[in-house]
Amino acid sequence: MADNLRNTIDKLRSRGAEALTDEELLSLLVEDEALPAALMAACNGSLAELAATKIERLRMIGGLGLHRAQRLVAAAEWGRRVSADVASRAVSIHTSAEVAALFRPQMEHLTHEECWVVHLTSSNRILERQRVSQGGVQGTVVDHRLVVKRALELLSTQLILVHNHPSGAAEPSAQDRVLTERIAKAAALFDIRLLDHLIISSSGYFSFLESGLIA
């Protein structure tokens, strides 16, 4: 084992994993000192981009190979599942950022669109997270009647819409704006309030509430 790798292991043992740099973490996963620099350079210095890289491309970077590429993909998926598990334990939400954190692990890397509704009590306690549609790359169809029907069944008084943009751009489309208005009006007929509509993408999130598009 090379000296630098031994030093990284010693650092891990003495100071913990949080003390390691990105490249040091990668060196432990791939058991190589030189490869981490090539991996980070190929992914613009972004661990998120590296985690989203398909195994077919990943294995070719710097001669990484299939076995080590599989190890990195497994580690990235492990991280996503841990994040999703932690987020799913939330019992109430109060900000758009909290909603984004709740859904980002499961949605930001999807290659198709999904739309979810969070049903809430008046005190922002989560009653249910419901997937209401699943579509293609360009869009998905949401039936506002089914959204309101489920809210009435749960005695929910507040809703939050969440969907993703596989394109990576979080800005709302004209269809997103129409959907938001339609859901808000349908829910208001039953004294149910649409609190926010979030769009999740690999570049971040867009909140209708934070942008002043929902009162």
Q: Which residues pair with 199 in a beta bridge?
A: 163, 206
> Is residue 81 scored above 90 in pLDDT?
no
Domain 92-207, CATH class in plain words: alpha beta
The pLDDT value given to residue 91: 79
Q: Which of 134, 126, 131 is nearest to 88 (CA)?
A: 126
Say if residue 146's pLDDT is above 80: yes
pTM of the model as a whole:
0.67
β-bridge mates for residue 128, sequence order: 119
The mean predicted confidence, pLDDT, of the chain is 90
- Which pLDDT tens digit goes with each residue over 148-196? 999 999 999 999 999 999 988 999 999 999 999 999 999 999 999 999 9
Q: Per-residue pLDDT averaged across 63-80, rounded?
A: 91
pLDDT of 138 strictly over 60: no
The pLDDT assigned to 89 comes to 72
Going by pLDDT thresholds of 50, 70 and 90, the confidence category of residue 71 is very high
14 confidence band (pLDDT: 50, 70, 90): very high
Backbone angles phi, psi at 10, to 5 degrees: -60, -40
pLDDT value of residue 137: 53
**Residue 31: left if φ>0, alpha if ψ -120 to 50, beta else—which one?**
left
* Per-residue pLDDT at 139: 58
3-85: CATH architecture: Orthogonal Bundle (1.10)
What is the CB-side half-sphere exposure of residue 139 using CA atoms within 13 A?
Answer: 8
Cα diameter, the chain: 69
Q: Domain limits of the chain?
A: 3-85, 92-207
Do residues 85 and 105 make contact, with C-beta atoms less than 8 angstroms apart? no
